[in-house]
Amino acid sequence: MTLILFLAALAGLLFVMRRESGAKHAIGVMLVVGVLSLSSSVWLSLLLFVGAAVTAAAGLPQFRMNWLTPRAFAMFKKVAPKVSDTERVALEAGTVGWDGELFTGRPDWHNLLINRHTGLSAEEQSFLDNQCTQAMAMCNSWDLAVERADLPKELWDFLKKEKFFGMIIPKEFGGLGFSAKAQTAVLQKLAANEMLMVTVGVPNSLGPGELLLKYGTDEQKAHYLPRLADGREIPCFGLTGPRAGSDATSLPDTGIVCKQEVDGKEVLGIRLNFEKRWITLAPVATVVGLAFRMFDPDGLLGETEDHGITCALIPRNTDGMEIGRRHCPIGSPFMNGPIKGKDVFIPLDYIIGGQEMAGEGWRMLVECLSVGRCITLPSGAAGAAAYAVGTAGGFTRVRRQFNTPVAEMEGVQAPLARIAGKTYIAQAAVNHTANMIDKGEKPAVPSAILKYHLTEFQRDILTDAMDVHGGKAVTLGPRNYLGIGYSSTPVSITVEGANIMTRSLMIFGQGAIRCHPYVLKELAAKDNDDIKAFDEAFFGHAGLVFGNAARAFTQALSIGKADVPFDSASRKFAQALARFSSAFGLCADAAMTTLGGELKMRELLSARLGDMLANLYLGSMVLKNWHEAQPVEGEKELMEYSMTLLLHRTEQALDEFLKNLPSRPVAIALRVITLPIGRCWAEPSDKLTSKLARAISTDTPLRSKLMAGAWTTEGEGDVPNPVAQYNSLLKDYNKAEQLYRKANKAYAKGELPMTALHPEERFEAALEAEVFSQEEADFMRQYEALVLEMLTVDDFPFDEFARNKGTLIAHNPA
């Protein structure tokens, strides 16, 4: 009887904790069970009464405010980390949406599903189908990257004429006024060519256009926005330099407020000295956005001497500015270069937003970056992934070894399935996050998640695609459609916040305070010395900790699974995400409590917590995509593969966090709560792997859906589209495969000459032996000719690669 009552009390308390019902309900459970225990177990009854008394003292505001809250507040003031002004700006930038739900441990799925992805407008879809297709048809990757290291003039003119650089600029200023969804769709399609994607993406991302829209004066908008929209002005933005990369707040570039005579008049302005590098479009830019540290030592503007980071717009031909030299970005030499300036004088009205925006540059940059980082590089990654589906799937089906397509080999199927799964995740994440932006959100933490994880996916996908192509992809030349994009992948990894820093510092570091339901409120109460606000936030936080512990423990044991609004195919994955959301929230609080301010320096722990949050976010996007879309044949298996992969990664990050948390007693307790029966999410099964590999290497609805946003139409003139060529081959593959087998079977029986080793010879021999009909022979001649073209690699004259022909050695003189 005592055991039954004890279990009843435990179950009742877990139920109250799971629901975060508050101290009164917990006290009620203990008092009721305590009274029932009086006749069977005095000790259990006493224990429950003491527990009820302690809970009342600590949990009821009217009691704790007199003794516990003041002591807790005093201790919190001592241990709470200090938030610098630059950190505060970053924390306050953007909005909190679904990422905040994941921090609660009890995500409300209706808040995610309420805003459906409604697709593109007719105008946006037309631009995607026509102008984007035409732009791609003008891109020969080898010609652009190797022969000219630039886009051809006719393509530059086309991009300007069709306003590719004005996608974000409203129609009232002459731009296209596209939605975020349309921008990401355009960049996904253009991603088949890295140079084109970057050239179009950057002016529509972090740059003068967006800064002007949000902060520019009316005069600045009226002058610059129409000119940026139609390409009369090409912008760049100078932020990073030799000593300011990831730590952009430590800019050494200065602007000193001073007076200078201009055209016979004394003008109040700024004298700039700066050195920037890695600035995309700088070599061809006509207007330069510049970030610098602004000082007013002579008090010409007032009493403030150090105004802080400021942003200004400077015409290219301004005296003292050196611009035009180029860097050579690895793999894809898009326009990128240094900018220097010595004693460059600009009037005050060059400041974006005018004089009143002096010193507001860091806030401006952070707020713009939270949107731009969600779109440009993640869209490029998703687009490159779709292109890899088309090429890797097609190549492995037509490439035969041991008389079978290599796509049927399990060793090849594993990377093909990874390509499919990560492409599906990337597309879901970037499309649905763009939809959030269109609904008014400025997702700061998701922008870091997408930037890091999708560019890492891009690197993984292109590595897998290179591997399954073998020699076809490692031999550079006009026929190599992967090598240039693969070699340029480190650019995406490095720019807009290096991935190492993004993972180890930004995702969880920013999210822990920005997205947590209570931490920001506790810090605000500390700063305002508001004990009442602290009491409400601190003990709400305590309730959250107990609630997450109860939810994580019971759901890990499959007790009281979360109620989720998904179908039978996806429900278990949503319930697993809810369980890991509770585990993540509990671990995040444990790390912040045990490490305090030291957590900033424990980057590996922060990275693992960030990995958990990121995989939960990506999994949510996959589930939302599945919930809203009309699934095609095979998509259920793709969703299962993707979710299994993400949950495996989530659990792995949790396990590694627990293994490395310095406080071992806390780590052990957390393991008992969050992984009471150990790890249960393995990597996707071989069966799923095989199904997905076949689906993307044959002409299936799933392959078509994954490539729906990619460039799949045949090129024009000298610009063939390998994806279109593979699609054509795959449409005829079933017929061709039957004839391959027919010819090989006849050869094995000795019906064809032993010397008929080449496929072409075997087909001709099969026609002569009447194994093939004339129609079958004609079909296989054409089919095999295209296959051979897709397998062929380029070769060059001996002296082709020597820039200085005088250094050539005559190894075999005549």
Coil, strand or helix at 3: helix
In 3D, which of 548, 551, 570 has the Cα closest to residue 562?
Answer: 551
Using alpha carbons, list the distances in angstroms from residue 611 to 444, 592, 619, 657.
Answer: 16, 16, 12, 10
The token duo for 609 is 């917590």
Q: Among residues 513, 574, 520, 519, which one has the least CA distance to residue 544?
A: 519
DSSP state of 257: E
Tokens of 149: 């290291």
Report whether 165 contacts 215 (CB < 8 A): no
pLDDT of residue 547: 87
Per residue in 487-521, pLDDT (tens digit) is 999 999 998 888 999 999 889 988 877 788 888 78
In terms of Cβ atoms closer than 10 Å to its own Cβ (0-12, 13-18, 19+), residue 22 is middle
Query: Rounded distance, CA 108 to CA 574, Å?
Result: 11
The tokens describing 621, both together, are 């996007």
Q: Which residue has the higher pLDDT, 363 or 419?
A: 419
For 772-788, write each residue's pLDDT tens digit: 999 999 999 999 999 99
**pLDDT computed for residue 545 by the predictor:** 87
Best CA proximity match to 396, nearest among 631, 633, 733: 733
With contact defined as beta carbons under 8 Å apart, do 724 and 712 qualify?
yes
> Cβ neighbours of residue 635 under 8 Å, at least 6 residues apart?
626, 629, 702, 705
Is residue 307's pLDDT more than 60?
A: yes
Alpha carbon separation from 583 to 385, 471, 680, 763 (Å, rounded): 31, 46, 14, 62
**pLDDT for position 662:** 95
pLDDT in tens, 757-770: 999 999 999 999 99
User: What Rg, from alpha-carbon coordinates, does the chain have?
Assistant: 31
Tens digit of pLDDT for each residue in 703-731?
A: 999 999 999 988 655 678 999 999 999 99
Crossing angle (nearest 10°) for helices 122-129 and 180-190? 10
Tokens 């430590």 locate to 250
Two tokens, residue 431: 């499309």
Give the relative orientation of helices 361-398 and 722-731 as an angle to the nearest 10 degrees.
Answer: 40
Tell me the CA distances in angstroms from 179 to 121, 198, 204, 431, 435, one per residue in order: 9, 19, 12, 11, 9
Q: Taking a C-beta distance cutoff of 8 angstroms, is the pair 355, 219 a contact?
A: no
Rounded to an integer, the average pLDDT of 22-44 is 66
pLDDT digits (tens, 9 = 90+) for 83-125: 666 666 666 777 888 999 999 999 999 999 999 998 999 999 9
Q: Is 157 helix (H, G, I), strand (E, B) or coil?
A: helix
3-state SS of 85-119? Answer: HHHHHHHHCCECCHHHHHHHCCCCHHHHHCCCCCC
- Residue 603: CB atoms within 10 Å: 17
Q: What tens digit of pLDDT does each residue of 792-803 get? A: 999 999 888 888
Over residues 248-268, the mean pLDDT reads 87
pTM over cut 0.95: no
**By C-alpha distance, which of 506, 548, 437 is closest to 178?**
437
Per-residue model confidence (pLDDT) at position 250: 78
Nearest to 36, CA basis, from 70, 63, 1, 10? 1
Q: Which of 496, 522, 640, 784 is catalytic?
A: 496
CB-CB contact of 323 with 285 (8 Å): yes
Q: Which residues lie below 8 Å from residue 83, measured CB to CB, with a gap of 6+?
A: 91, 513, 523
496 in active site: yes
Rounded Cα gap, residues 16 and 502, in angstroms: 38
User: Tokens at residue 595, please?
Assistant: 């490490």
pLDDT at 221: 95
Residue type, 526: K
Identify the pLDDT of residue 676.
95
In this prediction, residue 525 has a pLDDT band, given cuts at 50, 70 and 90, of: confident
Average pLDDT, the chain: 89
CA 11 to CA 553: how far, in whole Å? 12
Nearest-10 Cα torsion for 210, 205, 183, 173: 30
Q: Is the pLDDT of residue 338 over 70?
A: yes
Helices assigned H by DSSP within 529-570: 531-556
* Cβ–Cβ < 8 Å for 499, 455: yes
